[in-house]
Amino acid sequence: MTPAPLQPPALVLTMHRSFVAAAPTLESFKSRYISEAHKRASELETLFQEHAERWKADTEYYSSVTKMILHPSYRRIMGMGPAALPFILRELRERPDHWLVALNAITGIDPVPEKNTFDEAVGAWLAWGVQQGYLR
């Protein structure tokens, strides 16, 4: 007499089917990851805007660029690192201001040739931003 083939308990089959049905697919993982990345970028942009507005309001009448860049909100923006570059460059394009120090501090480069005016320096940074894909 041959033994009957072993059958997995019904509970095991049910758990297996549930697991397989609930297992995340690569597409659902990518979708969730992209959604989280967009949420994080949106939060970072909001934080950038809050600090940029505070910095501009608080330093509007400063004549010293040194005092302007030592403001806590300016330092916070620099502390955001490379993630802040698109926001800084867009702000520089729309409302030119003293973002050049932050750009240099974050990137470690200076695309501005010596002895340029402020407007020429802004133009050089914006051209760099386009070349690097931060601006269109």
**Does 55 map to a domain?**
yes
Of 63, 129, 58, give the one whose Cα is nearest residue 91. 129
- The distance from CA 104 to its chain's CA centroid, rounded to whole angstroms, is 17
pLDDT digits (tens, 9 = 90+) for 97-117: 999 999 999 999 999 998 999
Provide the whole-model pTM. 0.73
pLDDT at 33 over 90: no
**Does 5 map to a domain?**
no
pLDDT at 15 over 70: no
Neighbours of 54 (CB within 10 A): 15
- What does the alpha-carbon distance between residue 106 and residue 110 come to, in Å, rounded to a whole number? 10
- The total domain count for the chain is 1
The domain in which residue 93 lies consists of: 25-131
User: What mean pLDDT do residues 21-30 have?
Assistant: 64
Averaged pLDDT of the chain: 86
